[in-house]
Amino acid sequence: MKIVHQINQVKGMIREVRQKGGTIGFVPTMGYLHEGHLSLMRRAKVEQAVVVASIFVNPLQFGPKEDLAVYPRDLERDSVLAESADVDILFVPAVEEMYPQGVKRFLTVVDVAAITGVLCGAARPGHFRGVTTVVNKLFHIVEPDAAYFGQKDAQQVTVIKRMVEDLNMNISIVTVPTVREADGLALSSRNVFLNVAERRAALVLHQSLQAAVRLLAGGCRSAAAIRAAMTALIAAEPLASIDYIAVVDRDSLAEIAAISGPVLIALAVRIGKTRLIDNMVWEG
Amino acid sequence: MKIVHQINQVKGMIREVRQKGGTIGFVPTMGYLHEGHLSLMRRAKVEQAVVVASIFVNPLQFGPKEDLAVYPRDLERDSVLAESADVDILFVPAVEEMYPQGVKRFLTVVDVAAITGVLCGAARPGHFRGVTTVVNKLFHIVEPDAAYFGQKDAQQVTVIKRMVEDLNMNISIVTVPTVREADGLALSSRNVFLNVAERRAALVLHQSLQAAVRLLAGGCRSAAAIRAAMTALIAAEPLASIDYIAVVDRDSLAEIAAISGPVLIALAVRIGKTRLIDNMVWEG
């Protein structure tokens, strides 16, 4: 595995792969890798000749009061993990490499309307603009055949798919299932912020999704009833406070009242100071 | 020359060119071709194996009160002209092909801040967002090695160069000199709107730029003095009304008061109902 910090160096390596006719799979991450990231890398390796992963904690997608400064970073550990998942090229640009004029003087943004103002976008204004802008840049740097994203960030997947479709980008977006701890907690780099009591309380996200599944399996088709059951379950946990619980169409992210087909059930919950998300898709 | 209407068809043809190792030059236009467009195509043909030109009157870059409905169109004539300039592939998508959900339900925009709010951007809010969005789409469809733009649309060139740089797109932007009528009028598809008296009056754009050159050649380095001389000359023409006269840095488009190096002098003038633009770069 090669670790590369310069855009031009990555572009040069990508050109060589292309000249030999190799396909490229890409896994963009913010690092502090866990089994969820590694599952994306392994999936990419199965499907593509060469796997490029990036580690970049993108300032553009953090709000002024968010956890940019304390977002966990550990390049040494990440390198070992990425190599263990057969990554060929690990691209780790500095902020100055991605935003040479500085983040505040960077002029071009890629913005997806409507579907970025709901769910996580409602609580994190500008977040998805930062995501689509940096992913657009990374897509041009790596020019992959396919890029791999985790289902855990369901809205991110929907938004990026829409960007790729709207801008006619020649990239397949592959969604890989959420990886969970044995007790159901979805893996997240932010889980490291949880103390023992919070770690236990964080189970309410998955438990509330399981409650939703039970209701759906029992024939309930009312989004309001499902949200109410999830809300009650989470409200019973003193360390948890709900940001949102949403029952929406997977592509438009529009709210669904009466469930008649596939539906995305997504939620964001603060456990102490840590904001966690989780979701499931009910195939209908 | 092949005329193609479908995105997938163009992408297929581009793939074939790439497999044979051919380079691709791209000339995006709104059609109603004139010698200015043809000069871009000929330049592309000199530098690249295959030339793709597009004709698309992009609704996204016209304001609600602008001339989208009456913008001149003549595909038959354009085809003959493009073929005469050795274009290999003429891409002519319908609006529904570029914006399948409809223009108003299209979600993703590419927006360059700051440098799009001045000069033409001040009078045409949203115009450059429409330009960068459609050019971004076209760049992904054609994936050219180089794209060719006329110096006549100086701000457009600056904005597109910035988009390509900021988003790390792998495309060279080539600027080709403005083509003029014998009497100096810059070629424009909108010149067709001018009646005989307006055609004569339209000469003030070029004449005012020539006046600026004379002042600069005579040692004048005051932008205010240059703007004043240009303003006086245009004010003397009853059919002309000034939208803007700007003396700016070529890259940042920031106003320059005391000229000490290369400078872009650009203007927009209404001749009757027709808004015309012209510019020159003083190399300093």
Looking at residues B51-77, what average pLDDT do you find?
A: 96
Per domain, the residue ranges of chain A are 2-176, 189-278
Looking at residues A10-23, what average pLDDT do you find?
A: 96
Contact B107 A169 (CB under 8 A): no
Write down the H helix ranges in chain B: 7-19, 35-47, 75-84, 95-98, 120-123, 127-142, 154-166, 196-201, 203-217, 223-235
Of B7, B110, B114, the CB nearest to A110: B110
C-alpha A2/C-alpha B284 separation (Å) is 46
- Per-residue confidence (pLDDT) for residue B262, from 0 to 100: 96
Does residue B284 register a pLDDT over 90?
A: no
Structurally, at CATH architecture level, domain B189-277 sits in 2-Layer Sandwich (3.30)
B11 close contact with A: CB closer than 8 A: yes
B5 is catalytic: no
- Per-residue confidence (pLDDT) for residue B2, from 0 to 100: 98
Pairing of β A89-91 and β A50-55:
parallel
Share of chain A above pLDDT 70, in %: 100
* B262 token code pair: 């290369």
- Per-residue confidence (pLDDT) for residue A4, from 0 to 100: 98
A160: nearest CA partner in chain B: B108
Q: Tell me what the pLDDT averaged over chain B comes to.
A: 97
Task: Grade residue A220 by pLDDT with cuts at 50, 70 and 90.
Answer: very high
Task: Grade residue B236 by pLDDT with cuts at 50, 70 and 90.
Answer: very high
Q: Decide which of 3.30.1300.10, 3.30.200.20, 3.40.190.80, 3.10.290.10 is the CATH code for A189-278.
A: 3.30.1300.10
Report pLDDT digits (tens) over A38-50.
Answer: 999 999 999 999 9
B140 close contact with A: CB closer than 8 A: yes
Does residue B23 register a pLDDT over 90?
A: yes
Is A153 known as a binding-site position?
yes
C-alpha B141/C-alpha A141 separation (Å) is 17
Does residue A162 register a pLDDT over 90?
A: yes
CA dist B217 → B214, B221, B267, B283 (Å):
5, 9, 19, 11
A:47-106 residues touching chain B, CB 8 A cutoff: 106
- Per-residue confidence (pLDDT) for residue B258, from 0 to 100: 97
Contact B140 A170 (CB under 8 A): yes
Contact B108 A106 (CB under 8 A): no
Q: Which residues of A116-145 are buried (b: 16+ CB within 10 A; e: fewer)?
A: bebbbbeebebbbbbbbbbbbbbbbbbbbb
- Per-residue confidence (pLDDT) for residue A284, from 0 to 100: 85
Does residue A142 register a pLDDT over 90?
A: yes
Strand order from edge to edge, sheet including B263-271: B240-248, B263-271, B274-282
Does residue B150 register a pLDDT over 90?
A: yes
Task: Grade residue B221 by pLDDT with cuts at 50, 70 and 90.
Answer: very high
- Per-residue confidence (pLDDT) for residue B59, from 0 to 100: 97
CB A262 within 8 A of CB A284: yes
Share of chain B above pLDDT 70, in %: 100
Does residue B34 register a pLDDT over 90?
A: yes
Does residue A273 register a pLDDT over 90?
A: yes
Looking at residues A88-109, what average pLDDT do you find?
A: 96
Task: Grade residue A28 by pLDDT with cuts at 50, 70 and 90.
Answer: very high
Write down the H helix ranges in B25-69: 35-47
CATH topology of domain B2-176: Rossmann fold (3.40.50)
